[in-house]
Amino acid sequence: MATFAINSLLNYKTEKYIVTENKAVGVLHRLFQLSVIGYIIGWVFIVKQGYQEIEDAIQSSVITKVKGTAVTNTSESGLLVWGPEEYVIPPQGEDVLFVVTSFLETPNQKMGYCAEVRTFCFHFKSPTGHNRPQCGKCIRNNENSNGTCEIFGWCPTEKDIKPQKPLLKNAENFTIYVKNFIQFPKFSFSKSNILKTTDQSYLKKCRYDKKQYPYCPIFRLGDITRRAGCNFQDMATLGGAIGIVIQWDCDLDKGTSHCNPEYQFTRLDATVSNKSIAAGFNFRHARYFKNAAGESSRSLYKVYGIRFHILVHGKVCKRHQRQNECINGANGTFFCDIVLLYLTTGRKSYKDKKFEVLKYEKQHTSTDVDIS
Amino acid sequence: MATFAINSLLNYKTEKYIVTENKAVGVLHRLFQLSVIGYIIGWVFIVKQGYQEIEDAIQSSVITKVKGTAVTNTSESGLLVWGPEEYVIPPQGEDVLFVVTSFLETPNQKMGYCAEVRTFCFHFKSPTGHNRPQCGKCIRNNENSNGTCEIFGWCPTEKDIKPQKPLLKNAENFTIYVKNFIQFPKFSFSKSNILKTTDQSYLKKCRYDKKQYPYCPIFRLGDITRRAGCNFQDMATLGGAIGIVIQWDCDLDKGTSHCNPEYQFTRLDATVSNKSIAAGFNFRHARYFKNAAGESSRSLYKVYGIRFHILVHGKVCKRHQRQNECINGANGTFFCDIVLLYLTTGRKSYKDKKFEVLKYEKQHTSTDVDIS
Amino acid sequence: MATFAINSLLNYKTEKYIVTENKAVGVLHRLFQLSVIGYIIGWVFIVKQGYQEIEDAIQSSVITKVKGTAVTNTSESGLLVWGPEEYVIPPQGEDVLFVVTSFLETPNQKMGYCAEVRTFCFHFKSPTGHNRPQCGKCIRNNENSNGTCEIFGWCPTEKDIKPQKPLLKNAENFTIYVKNFIQFPKFSFSKSNILKTTDQSYLKKCRYDKKQYPYCPIFRLGDITRRAGCNFQDMATLGGAIGIVIQWDCDLDKGTSHCNPEYQFTRLDATVSNKSIAAGFNFRHARYFKNAAGESSRSLYKVYGIRFHILVHGKVCKRHQRQNECINGANGTFFCDIVLLYLTTGRKSYKDKKFEVLKYEKQHTSTDVDIS
């Protein structure tokens, strides 16, 4: 019984086939196979490069530097020259940076009591305070008009003015120099967006242009907004947000010198800006002073501007170095058939049995015909 | 020989099948097939939606705006009103923002020599300096007590006090307005977390609530900590970190109006806060002043507070528009069989050969019976 | 006709096999199968752990705290002690932080007219302004020399000096304490990079060392640059960028206590720094003052230093809890064959038909031999 089980275990089982010698069907069959092979080679291997390994775990570091100056002249602030140390917030060159294009200064604010500008009060009734502490007294210009609520806070309070046009008119001509360094640790590949060039003055003169200078890392603000489909002066008046997408899609098999970034520009608050309450982008910051007597004062700045967010995406692909893991036919049928068909002594008998030949010309006679 | 090779090449080879007419086995076989098909349709297509393309390369931009005021009254700083320009650090509305809930001011520091508070020295022995430069002299109150090391630095030095309760008590009622704009470039899909509504006052009044206002983008700080499972006053005393997760999981086939964000709140320093040395979150910053003589002084602020980190995750899925790439049977066997079985003149003979019929009623007689 | 269709539908069709009793081929076939099974078990299951679910959607929060002091003594700024509140920008402990290692102060700048230092003008010809507004007058020392363009701006202008050595010499000994908290929401797994230890003084004394203290979260700046393959004093002179990669690769089946971070250090501006124009990393920031008369002045700081970027990567894997979704043989052939072969009454006849036995010893005689 044990002997039989071993015998049975060592029997080789293969599918039995019918072979038809109808030429039309044969041609059809081969054409179909060719189209499948053509599809696999053409689409999977050439177009999709399915034999390559794809890696999208990108490590990216971005350093930015803005250049340019602007002059403003307002009644509150006087004549002012703005450099990057004033209009770029924060100044340390991060991948998210805000460029001031307009501002409203409220100078010489001191802690004290004064009239609010937005919280109205009516005929001796005091309102509920509009989220402001210590609001009890109603300050009115005359007996019958509505007044505004008295507050304790930084006085005088900020005026309720919306800018009609950007004050830093020259902001359109400011430039951002973007240094991006990427790494794909899996492939030990690293690259910078700054071209290796012998021309030292290139990086001092060039400005990004999709056609002429696609790899120049210096961007004029006005060009960025234009490419994102926005009008700079409109955005500069109330503020907005722009994304600068750096896309690295590289085939490392073609050589690393062909691996270059592509820049895209997109408005990041487009949907938001459709609604009046959410329109624009501004925030307040303050500078603090102390006078000789040690009293504190501050200058409050409400700044409007454009926030630039540099987003880095990418993937690289590289030819697979390991052995092909796909075993053609998991149980070796193909391999064993080859042995039986061509290498064993009983090959003729095996062929007779494995392939039953069907001849259409003489279809009613014997079909067990040798194909060799 | 060449003719033969071509003939052989154009032979069509197909598997030979046995057909059994046992009804019980047939029913069993069909039931099994039905259950497999049911599984594929039910699980893969309906539950897992395997026929859809999934995209998780989200591009996200976050703008935050905090509102609210608080009053503090301390012996060092006097009566102060805190607005967002003071208590939000940095003030420019980034996705990582710190809200001051308590502070310790050390005003009027000037460069000079004074006694440290933490580095003790014993009986004329000078210690090794506690990472502080120029520490040589030991300043003691009386002959027998230990003194503290004299340092050169900003004097007077900061007191070694830990806050017992938050000073900005009203911080719980501050609100964060989160503007999130996402894009999936692959599907040209973009959306904002701010609902398109005709009610202009909605965004002025609403506060996020999981049940009532799940899409209101304005969050009360106290609600955020409560939903993250923390007590606001505890966190506000020593500081902490909270994550606001915005999750976008959308089926674009259902229409973009069904694509809405979900908000989750989680404490980001939970494990850290279990150990006393790592508990809380604070840092120091300073404001610099110059007096009439040009001498520098500064006010040092040690601020405790809650850091909010807005994390955006998401994936969208959409029905596959391209041709189905799975070819049913890579070598066309199925297609060719159909032709042979139904379209060729010798179809009866082919059927006889391809399908060997096994009838159980008369199993010892001839089995090569036509099934048609 | 309908009856026939149903009969035909319930016929069970299976492939016809040839069984050869050639032992050599049988052994070969089994060896091949064993090697395939060995490969699948060995490589896919043990090495690649293909049976586990892998999750790489990591949620990470980083808090940093720098400690250490340095003293500088320059002609412009005098004797200064630098604490983290001065040399870390921004001070709020983010995952991207800049540590000042050298600086150039331009104190007491006021708005006014003065000579630029870089824009030269020749013999009464005024240049095109070098991106500076209101540049019309040429200021020269004597009649024949070239002068520099007069500007309106913050005066005096910054000197055109490049640092030769870092001014904050002690910066090498500063330490960064990195608190990293990660979460994998899918597996409800969270962990911090701070070890749970009973020794409270451990976190006060330890310094990261790859061999001795691989889990100490406190890093000496000099150690970081050394491990990234850079010389600290070189980087500190002109500035640079370093990435601290925290890698979490965890097998949750081995227990969460084995899930520990690995730290890697890499220079992030390596390629950039090869070119003179892009070398180093610096930016300008300013402190603003007002005198008794309300006139503004500022101190401009051009700071050089090292930017540290803490990058957190990771994936965890965990054994798959759901039912195995791979159905062995989608149309149940295997299952039905078992029934026919062993459970039905006509099993001998079915075997005779399904398996055609090919015996090599008697290959010219009848081949329809029962294998049982």
B interface test, pick of C6, C58, C63 with most B CB neighbours within 10 Å: C63
β partners of residue A314: A248
Name chain A contacts of B179, Cβ cutoff 8 Å. Answer: 269, 272, 278
Nearest by Cα to B319 from B120, B83, B50: B50
Q: What is the pLDDT of residues A195-238, one digit of tens each?
A: 776 666 777 788 999 998 888 999 999 999 999 988 898 889 98
Angstroms from C125 CA to nearest CA on chain B: 39
Residue A88 annotated as lining a ligand binding site: no
Question: Integer distance in angstroms from the first to the last C-alpha of chain A?
Answer: 39
Q: What is the pLDDT of residues C194-224, one digit of tens each?
A: 877 666 677 778 899 999 888 899 999 999 9
Contact C78, C65 (CB under 8 A): no
Count of CB pairs separated by less than 8 Å, A with B: 183
Interchain CB distance below 8 Å, A271 and B192? yes
pLDDT at B324 over 50: no
- When the pLDDT of each residue in chain C is averaged and rounded to a whole number, the result is 76
Contact A37, A157 (CB under 8 A): no
Closest-approach residue (CA) in chain C for A60: C268
Identify the pLDDT of residue C123. 43
Per-residue pLDDT band at A349 (split at 50, 70, 90): low
pLDDT over 90 for what percent of chain C? 28
B interface test, pick of A41, A283, A306, A351 with most B CB neighbours within 10 Å: A283
Identify the pLDDT of residue A5. 57
- When the pLDDT of each residue in chain B is averaged and rounded to a whole number, the result is 76
**Phi, psi at residue C125, to the nearest 5°?**
-85, 130
Comparing CB atoms, the residue among A84, A170, A332 nearest residue C29 is A332
Contact B353, B16 (CB under 8 A): yes
Interchain CB distance below 8 Å, B179 and A134? no
Closest-approach residue (CA) in chain C for A191: C271
Choose between C218 and A183: higher pLDDT.
C218
Q: To which residue do tokens 């259950």 refer?
A: B35
Q: What is the average per-residue pLDDT within A6-11?
A: 62
Interchain CB distance below 8 Å, B25 and C12? yes
Q: What is the pLDDT of residues B185-205, one digit of tens each?
A: 778 888 888 877 666 677 778
Per-residue pLDDT band at C96 (split at 50, 70, 90): very high
Contact A100, A66 (CB under 8 A): no
Residue A65 annotated as lining a ligand binding site: yes
Give the up-direction half-sphere exposure of residue C323: CA atoms within 13 A in the CB hemisphere. Answer: 5
pLDDT at A134 over 50: no
Angstroms from A192 CA to nearest CA on chain B: 22
Identify the pLDDT of residue A352. 65
Identify the pLDDT of residue C28. 74
Name chain B contacts of A270, Cβ cutoff 8 Å. Answer: 181, 190
Q: To which residue do tokens 């304790």 refer?
A: A152
A interface test, pick of C22, C44, C306 with most A CB neighbours within 10 Å: C22
Q: What is the average per-residue pLDDT within A111-136?
A: 58
pLDDT over 90 for what percent of chain A? 28
Interchain CB distance below 8 Å, A371 and B346? no
Per-residue pLDDT band at C134 (split at 50, 70, 90): very low
Per-residue pLDDT band at A101 (split at 50, 70, 90): very high
Identify the pLDDT of residue A198. 61
Identify the pLDDT of residue B125. 40
Residue C157 annotated as lining a ligand binding site: no
ipTM: 0.71
Per-residue pLDDT band at B177 (split at 50, 70, 90): very high
Comparing CB atoms, the residue among B68, B69, B90 nearest residue A90 is B90
Choose between B331 and B304: higher pLDDT.
B304
Identify the pLDDT of residue A60. 85
Q: What is the pLDDT of residues C224-239, one digit of tens each?
A: 999 998 889 888 998 9
Identify the pLDDT of residue B322. 37
Identify the pLDDT of residue A124. 42
Secondary structure element (H or E) that encloses residue A336, with its range: helix A333-338
- When the pLDDT of each residue in chain A is averaged and rounded to a whole number, the result is 76
Interchain CB distance below 8 Å, C26 and A12? yes
Q: What is the average per-residue pLDDT within A155-164?
A: 87
B interface test, pick of C8, C13, C55, C342 with most B CB neighbours within 10 Å: C13
pLDDT at A369 over 50: no
Interchain CB distance below 8 Å, A200 and C276? yes
Identify the pLDDT of residue A176. 95
Comparing CB atoms, the residue among A30, A300, A355 nearest residue B10 is A30
Interchain CB distance below 8 Å, A18 and B350? yes
Count of CB pairs separated by less than 8 Å, B with C: 182
**Phi, psi at residue B270, to the nearest 5°?**
-60, -55
pLDDT at B364 over 70: no
pLDDT at C144 over 70: no
Angstroms from B326 CA to nearest CA on chain C: 16
Per-residue pLDDT band at B272 (split at 50, 70, 90): very low
Angstroms from A323 CA to nearest CA on chain B: 24
From A192-206, A324-338, C157-171, the region with the lowest mean pLDDT: A324-338
The one-letter code for the residue type at C44 is V
Name chain A contacts of C329, Cβ cutoff 8 Å. Answer: none
- Any residues with CB less than 8 A from the CB of A344 and at least 6 apart, and which? A350, C22, C24, C25, C360
Angstroms from A349 CA to nearest CA on chain C: 7
Secondary structure of residue A169 in the 3-state scheme: helix
Identify the pLDDT of residue B252. 84
In Å, what is the CA distance from A175 to each residue of A75, A207, A280, B108?
Answer: 28, 8, 22, 40
Comparing CB atoms, the residue among C204, C291, C331 nearest residue B292 is C291
pLDDT at B287 over 90: yes
pLDDT at A328 over 90: no
Per-residue pLDDT band at C61 (split at 50, 70, 90): confident
Identify the pLDDT of residue B33. 73
Interchain CB distance below 8 Å, C10 and B20? no
Spatial distance between the Cα atoms of C109 and A154, rounded to a whole number of angstroms: 27
If you average pLDDT over each of A282-291, B15-24, B320-329, which comes out highest?
A282-291
The one-letter code for the residue type at C255 is G
Beta strands in chain B (DSSP E): 12-15, 17-20, 52-55, 59-67, 70-74, 78-82, 88-89, 96-121, 138-139, 147-155, 175-184, 189-192, 218-220, 240-251, 262-267, 282-290, 296-319, 355-358
Spatial distance between the Cα atoms of A187 and B124, rounded to a whole number of angstroms: 61
Choose between B304 and C40: higher pLDDT.
B304
Contact B248, B58 (CB under 8 A): yes
- Any residues with CB less than 8 A from the CB of B130 and at least 6 apart, and which? B116, B118, B119, B149
From A130-134, C175-179, C243-247, the region with the lowest mean pLDDT: A130-134
Interchain CB distance below 8 Å, C153 and A10? no
Comparing CB atoms, the residue among B196, B330, B340 nearest residue A36 is B330
If you average pLDDT over each of A49-63, A270-284, A338-352, which comes out highest?
A49-63
**Phi, psi at residue C14, to the nearest 5°?**
-140, 160
Residue B66 annotated as lining a ligand binding site: yes
pLDDT at A183 over 90: no
Residue B32 annotated as lining a ligand binding site: no
Interchain CB distance below 8 Å, B345 and A355? no
Name chain C contacts of A344, Cβ cutoff 8 Å. Answer: 22, 24-25, 360
Identify the pLDDT of residue B372. 37
Angstroms from A43 CA to nearest CA on chain B: 10
Q: What is the pLDDT of residues C297-351, one digit of tens each?
A: 999 999 999 999 999 988 888 775 433 333 333 334 444 555 555 555 555 655 6
Residue A267 annotated as lining a ligand binding site: no
Residue C282 annotated as lining a ligand binding site: yes
Question: Hey, what are C175's tokens?
Answer: 């330490």
